[in-house]
Amino acid sequence: MSTPEAQDRQLATLFRESTEMLEPDVAELVAGGVARGRTARRRRHLGTALGAIAVIGVVGLTAGVAGGLGGSGSPGEVAVADKPTPMSPKPNVTKHFELAVPAAEVPDAIAAMLPPGEVGPPLSGGTFPLVDEARNKVTHFRWDGTLTTFIIKPASSLASCAEFAAADPTVPCEVVDGLETQINPPTTGDQVTSQGVSVWRHGYVVTAMSYNAADGKDVPPLMDVPPISLEQLDQIVRSDVWFS
Amino acid sequence: MPTDRGARAEQEFEEFAVARAAHLYRSAWLLCGDRHQAQDLVQETLAKVYVRWRRPFGARIDNPAAYAQTALTRTFLSGKRRRSSGEQPYADLPDSPVDDGTEATDVRLALHDALAELPPADRAVLVLRYLEDLSVEEVAGRMGLSPGAVRNRSLRALERIRGVVDMSLALRKEAR
């Protein structure tokens, strides 16, 4: 009788060898996937609710703030083109900002900005990777048991605010206090409601999301609405604490 | 009209899709047991990845291959739930195994039939465990189940396909 480990190996070999002979038409698969994806995107833009879109994808929407309103996606500090300020921009004095908070310390940093609540450790692995690169931070953690996501990415790596506002007019890009801002109101999909705020600042896009469940989709909500309000999320993403 | 960034994202997606489509198709084939359903499932999966990819953060999915595999599994399972009465046994074998030896072909046919007898979620557990080589915990995460539920499903499914595994094992011993 074979051991469970041997059976595992045998089954893995069996599965692999049984499918090796399959040679699909890759071009057809890709073309079909792209065509369906474009259709789905068009439907979204028309305001059609597509339950198939995972709530976690809302994170993407919030990043629409990336890019300049009037520019062609050049990264950097926001220029408020229609409101010239008395202080002229200083294009030759561009300060390079570093990210100051390690990804693992983001939960505590956010907790310090919020009323008392139960803050969990950063999640890692699977669908919740902990990314801690010099210019790229992604932290998922639980606040009062609900999923919270905080992301900072270089603006240069993302589409522009104008592009994404154009792609999804339901989430406009606004200039608030001199920063391009995109506010995602509560959106429900796959059982879970999420909301978030992104700002464009110092050449980065800073995003914070709050969910009303422990996961981004397909789990029962723990409360009616996400526990971190849009105002609090706005305060979080505008905080100076993220930069040095 | 696609922007430069949009065009670049589209190109990156297509490169990803070309690289992963065959692998996704193999998973889909084991799950669906039918070439056309597998093709449909892969295209639906790629469409979901595409939509996410074109979003700013979606364009930087940290592990696109894992994301796509999870999307495929969940799309398969949700499709089965929607068609609650539609769990069709594999009526035929549209993808005939390669004729590389009668016994080996028999094993593949037996596997195909055995998988068809399993509930969709059990089938998904086996595919993720043994084709994707994921741990119980990883499978649990992908399927939204507890690790205990994955273990139970895995044990139950293995019990039901044990005969196929034993046949395969015997063939290998003979071949040595």
pLDDT the model gives residue B82 = 59
**More reliable by pLDDT, B104 or A202:** A202
- Select the more confidently predicted residue: A61 or A226: A226
The H or E element containing residue B109 is helix B102-116
Q: Where are the domains of chain B?
A: 1-94
Cα-trace Rg, chain B: 18
Q: Which residues of A touch B6 (CB under 8 A)?
A: 159, 163
Amino acid A161: pLDDT: 67
Question: What is the 8-class DSSP label of residue B127?
Answer: I
Fold of B1-94: Rna Polymerase Sigma Factor; Chain: A (1.10.1740)
As a whole number, mean pLDDT of residues A130-138 equals: 91
Confidence (pLDDT) at A85: 33
B37 touches chain A (CB under 8 A): no
Which residues, numbered 11 to 40 in chain A, qualify as contacts with chain B under a Cβ-Cβ cut-off of 8 Å?
Answer: 11-24, 26-30, 32-40
**Considering only CA atoms, which of A74, A65, A75, A68 is closest in space to residue A96?**
A75
Quick one: which of B28, B68, B72, B66 has its CA closest to B52?
Answer: B68
Is residue A17 scored above 60 in pLDDT? yes
Alpha-carbon span B121 to B80, nearest angstrom: 9
Q: Residue for token digits 């699977």?
A: A126
Chain B contacts in chain A segment 142-201 (CB below 8 A): 151, 153, 157-160, 163-164, 167
Percent of all residues in chain A with a pLDDT value above 70, rounded to a whole number? 72
Full pLDDT tens readout for chain B, 176 residues: 445 666 777 888 999 999 999 999 999 999 998 888 999 999 999 998 888 886 654 345 778 898 899 899 988 988 876 554 344 434 333 444 444 455 666 777 778 888 888 899 999 999 999 999 999 998 988 888 889 999 999 999 988 888 777 776 666 666 65
User: Are the beta carbons of A18 and B112 separated by less than 8 Å?
Assistant: yes
Sign of CA dihedral B82, B86, B87, B88: negative
Per-residue model confidence (pLDDT) at position A160: 63
pLDDT for the residue numbered B168: 65
Within 41-100 of B, beta carbons closer than 8 Å to A belong to 42-52, 54-60, 62-63, 66-67, 70, 74-75, 95, 97-98, 100
Nearest by CB: B55 against A19, A63, A205:
A63
pLDDT of residue A10: 81
Instruction: Tell me the domain boundaries of chain A.
Output: 4-45, 55-242
- Partner residues linked to A146 by β-bridges: A143
ipTM of model over 0.85: no
Q: Which residue has the tokens 């051991």?
A: A3
The three-point CA angle B38-B71-A138 to 5° equals 155
Which of B50, B66, B169 is facing A10, going by the closest CB pair? B169
What pLDDT score was predicted for residue A239? 94
* A49 touches B: beta carbon within 8 Å: no
A41 touches chain B (CB under 8 A): yes
Question: Does the pLDDT value for residue A52 go beyond 80?
Answer: no
